[in-house]
Amino acid sequence: MNNRLTVQCHDIIASEIQGLDYLARQMEQTWGIGRLPLLVDAELRLRFHQQIEMLNIALENDQTSREDILMQIGGCKRAWQALDQAARAGGHQPTPPTVWEISLEDGTVAMLVHDEADASQVAIQAKERRCVLYSLAEVGRLLSRYTTIAKVKEAFPGAKITSVQSKMPTAQFLNDDLPF
Contact 132, 108 (CB under 8 A): yes
pLDDT per position as a tens digit, 153-180? 888 888 888 877 766 655 555 666 666 5
- Looking at per-residue confidence, does 147 or 46 come out higher? 46
Mean pLDDT of the chain: 85
pTM of structure: 0.61
Instruction: Tell me what pLDDT residue 177 has.
Output: 66
pLDDT per position as a tens digit, 38-83? 999 999 999 999 999 999 999 999 888 999 999 999 999 999 999 9
